[in-house]
Structure 1
Amino acid sequence: MRDLFFILKEHKANFYKLYKLALYDFIAPLRDTYLGVIWIILNPLLQIGVYWFVFGLGIRNGRAVDGHPFLLWMLAGLVPWFYISSSISSATLSIYSKSSILTKMKFPTSIIPTCTITTQLLNSIPVILIMIIVYGFNGYKATIYYIQIPYYIISASLLLIGISLITSAVIMAVRDINRIVGTVLRFMFYLTPILWTTINLPPIALKIIRLNPFIYIIEGFRNTFLYNKWFFEDISFTIYYWAVTIIILLIGALVHMKLRNRFSDLI
């Protein structure tokens, strides 16, 4: 607990630095491009198009899910997953990629993964806005449930920070972690009901699948955009999610503090 409080204080003391670094990492890749911010949304849109063509048209023959068009059902799962997967992938390498800074000056290393996750959030905001527009064009008007979007973004971000504190620290000692993380993310993408439904799963398999905390975020987006449900309607899953998030944050803070004094030696 003491390690987590220290990291929280470090974040508070360096909040402006964190914000500026995240904003710079967001803007810098776009400066010398003609299309600018379009590049941020182009890759997700292309992936969405491919998944819709393969799974929506090819496998499902355009069949709806719970009365909702497959494209809209899939969007509510893919968009948060893009944020989750890109954040974990980039944040895992965040401290290692800033090694030149660590060897030259004293730097609050705990804010580096959070800075990377914030950059990925900035990248995700245009995609979320386009998603809202697509829903509007398909007759899904904005509802009061949309106020849950910041809640689910914050919920996902805190879990991602906890995970990244672990992976970004461990990778400094074990470089193979990056490959392991990439492999696990690929498995989780297909084991998480993003492109498929759980309707045919037996109860025991459904319980096992829902041990994955990211399903809470995926289902949360679908409940917000499609099913008009509040997050507290499934209070047991909400309690489980926050219990897992707090535990991972505590472990992440512990691992980070144990290894941070050795970062410069491990580069």
Structure 2
Amino acid sequence: MNDVKTIILEQINNFGIIRRISKYEEKATYQSHYLGLIWQFLNPAIQIGIYYLVFGLGVNQGRKADGVPYIVWMLIGIIAWFFINSSILGGSNSIYRQVGMVSKMKFPVSILPLVNITSNFVSYRAMMILLMGTMFGFGISPTIYWLQYIYYFICMIAFLFAFGVLNSTITVLVRDYHIMLQSILRLLFYISGPIWNFKTMFRGTSHRWFIRLLELNPIYYIIDGFRDSFLSKGWFWEKGTQTIFFWLVVMFLLIVGSHIHMKFRARFVDFI
């Protein structure tokens, strides 16, 4: 637990540095492009359009999901997925990619996964504005359930940070891990719920075991929680088992990731 405490204190004590580096990365990524930061909104918007044509109009044939238009239901999940996916992949490669800079500057490398998460907020905020506009356009009004979005947002950041510390360390030690993680995320896209409504697809009691299995997926828990919030379906404490399991997974990832990180970080440059 001392390793966890050290890692968390490093994030708090270096919060200013995290913000400055993340802003620099935002500008540096698209500085050579004519549209600049607009691509952070335009790129996911194009992908959303493609997914809606294929799954919304094609597979789903324009039917509603959970009583709302499919585009609204999909947007809630896929916007969260884009942020989670980019944060996991970027966080996994954050130390390996920036270790040269870190070796010349005095700040802990443990902040780099959080730097990556922070730099993804620009795109996430823009997409959330699109989501709000779409929901209001379809007549979906705010309710008291929307307040628990804050809880699920904290869940998302906690999971991404804990997973990022673990992934970024393993990527330095085993370079093939990052490539393997990319393949795993491609699979998780289809079983984490951003485009498929599994509760409708497997409504029969004989397939209830499959839903129970999916609910163990932390990403599914977050995406389903966002839908519970914006579509006013229920409170997070009504998912007692899922909630406890989710936080146990986060604590496990944070404890293991912090321990491995503290054990090897003095030798990161040697491994690379």
Q: What TM-score does the superposition give when structure 1 sets the normalisation length?
A: 0.94
Q: Does 1:92 align with 2:92?
A: yes
State the 1:43 CA deviation.
1.0
Give, in whole Å, the separation in 1 of the partners of 2:131 and 2:35. 20
- Partners in 1 of 2:245 and 2:127 — Cα distance? 28
Query: What CA deviation, in whole Å up to 9, does each residue of 1:114-157 have, x standing for no partner?
Result: 11111112321111111111111111122232222232222111
* Residue identity in the other structure for 1:41: F
**Which residue in the other structure is 2:241 paired with?**
236
Structure with bigger helix share is: 2
SS of alignment partner, residue 171 of structure 1: helix
Match of 1:166 in 2: 166
**1:66-81 residue pairs with structure 2 within 5 A?**
66-81=66-81
Q: Could you tell which deviates more after superposition, 44-53 or 195-204?
A: 195-204
Counterpart Cα distance in 1 of 2:13 and 2:212? 41
Superposition deviation, residue 28 in structure 1: 3.1
Are 2:115 and 1:104 equivalent residues in the alignment?
A: no
After TM superposition, the structure 1 stretch with the greater mean CA deviation from structure 2, 180-189 or 19-28, is 19-28
Contact in 2 for aligned 1:102/1:264 (Cα 8 Å): no
Query: Is 1:208 the equivalent of 2:197?
Result: no
**Which residue identity lines up with residue 234 of structure 1 in the other structure?**
K
- The alpha-carbon deviation at position 67 of structure 1 amounts to 1.9
Post-superposition shift, 1:16? 1.0
Distance between the aligned counterparts of 2:35 and 2:144, measured in 1?
34
SS of equivalent residue, structure 1 residue 242 = helix
Could you report, residue by residue, the CA deviation over 1:185-243 in whole angstroms, capped at 9, with x for unpaired residues? 00000122221122333011111111111111111111111134222232222222112
1:250 aligns with 2:251: no
Distance in 2, matches of 1:89 and 1:47, equals 18
Structure 1 residue runs of 5 or longer lacking an equivalent are none
Matches within 5 A, 1:57-72: 57-72=57-72
Matches within 5 A, 1:153-232: 153-198=153-198, 199-201=200-202, 202-232=207-237
Equivalent AA in structure 2 for residue 158 of structure 1: A
CA distance in 2, matches of 1:19, 1:38: 20
Kept in 2, the 8 Å contact 1:152–1:221? The answer is yes
Segments of structure 2 that go 5 or more residues without pairing to the other structure are none
1:261 aligns with 2:266: yes
Which whole-Å CA distance do the structure 1 matches of 2:179 and 2:22 have between them?
25
State the AA in 2 paired with 1:46.
I
**Paired residue secondary structure (1:196):** coil
Rounded to whole Å, the distance in 2 between the matches of 1:26 and 1:68 is 34
Give, as a single letter, the amino acid of the residue that structure 2 aligns with 1:241.
Answer: F
AA aligned opposite 1:87:
S
Would you say the 8 A contact 1:166–1:252 is kept in 2? yes
Asked if 1:26 corresponds to 2:26, the answer is: yes
Task: Calculate the TM-score normalised by the size of structure 2.
Answer: 0.93
Take 1:84 and 1:43, find their aligned partners in 2: how far apart are those partners? 16
User: Which whole-Å CA distance do the structure 1 matches of 2:80 and 2:153 have between them?
Assistant: 8
SS at match of 2:5: helix
Q: Which amino acid aligns with 1:251?
A: V
The 8 Å contact of residues 135 and 141 in structure 2, kept in 1 or not, is answered as: yes
- 1:129 alignment counterpart: 129
CA RMSD between the two structures? 1.6
| Alpha-carbon distance in 1 for matches of 2:216, 2:100 | 39
Q: Which amino acid aligns with 1:109?
A: V
Tell me how many residue pairs correspond in the alignment.
267
The alpha-carbon deviation at position 94 of structure 1 amounts to 0.4
State percent identity of aligned pairs.
37
Contact 1:88/1:163 (<8 A) preserved: yes
Give how far 1:50 is off.
0.6
How far is the alpha carbon of 1:30 from its aligned partner?
4.4
